[in-house]
Amino acid sequence: MTSSERASAAMRGMGLTMPSAAAMTSTARFTDGGAYKWEIAGAFDGPSVRAICGRLSEHGLRLHQVTNTVGIMRYLDEEIVDLVAACTEASVQLRLSAGPRGIFDIGGQRLASAGVAAASAYRIRGYAYLTDAIEDVWHAIDLGVRGFIVFDEGLLFALHTLQEQGVLPRLHLKASSNMGAQNGAHVRALERLGADSVNVQRDLDVAMIASIRAATTVPLDIHTDNPAQTGGFVRGYDVPRLARAAAPVYLKTGNAAQNFSDTAPTERERELIVHQLRLDHQQLQRGAPELTPSDTPEFSEGSHS
Distance CA 94, CA 165 (A): 24
pLDDT of residue 24: 82
Residue 296 lies in a domain: no
Say if 294 falls within a structural domain. Answer: no
Tens of pLDDT, residue by residue, the chain (305 residues): 665 678 888 888 988 876 665 568 999 999 999 999 999 999 999 999 999 999 999 999 999 999 999 999 999 999 999 999 999 999 999 999 988 877 777 777 666 666 656 667 778 989 999 999 999 999 999 999 999 999 999 999 999 999 999 999 999 999 999 899 999 999 999 999 999 999 999 999 999 999 999 999 999 999 999 877 777 788 889 999 999 999 999 999 998 888 777 889 999 999 999 999 999 999 999 999 999 999 999 998 775 44
- Reported as type and span, the H/E element at residue 222 is strand 220-223
Q: What is the pTM of this model?
A: 0.89
Q: Is residue 52 part of a domain?
A: yes
In a domain, 276, yes or no: yes
**CA 115 to mean position of chain CA atoms:** 22
Number of helices (H) and strands (E), helices first, in the chain?
10, 8
User: Structurally, how many domains does the chain consist of?
Assistant: 1
User: How far is it, in rounded angstroms, from Cα 26 to Cα 84?
Assistant: 33
Which CATH number does the domain housing residue 282 bear? 3.20.20.70
Assigned domain for 18 exists: no
Instruction: Give the number of other Cβ atoms within 10 Å of residue 62's Cβ.
Output: 16
The residue among 214, 219, 180, 184 whose CA lies nearest residue 200 is 180
Q: Does 304 map to a domain? A: no
For the chain, what is the radius of gyration of the CA atoms?
19
pLDDT given for residue 305 in this prediction: 41
The strand pairing partners of 94, in sequence order, are 66
Q: Domain range for residue 194?
A: 35-287
pLDDT value of residue 298: 93
> To the nearest 10°, the Cα dihedral for 193, 222, 31, 20?
-90
Q: Is 137 domain-assigned?
A: yes
Q: CB 171: neighbour CB atoms within 10 A?
A: 22
Instruction: Please report whether residue 265 resides in a domain.
Output: yes
pLDDT at residue 114, as a whole number: 60
Q: What is the pLDDT at residue 106?
A: 79
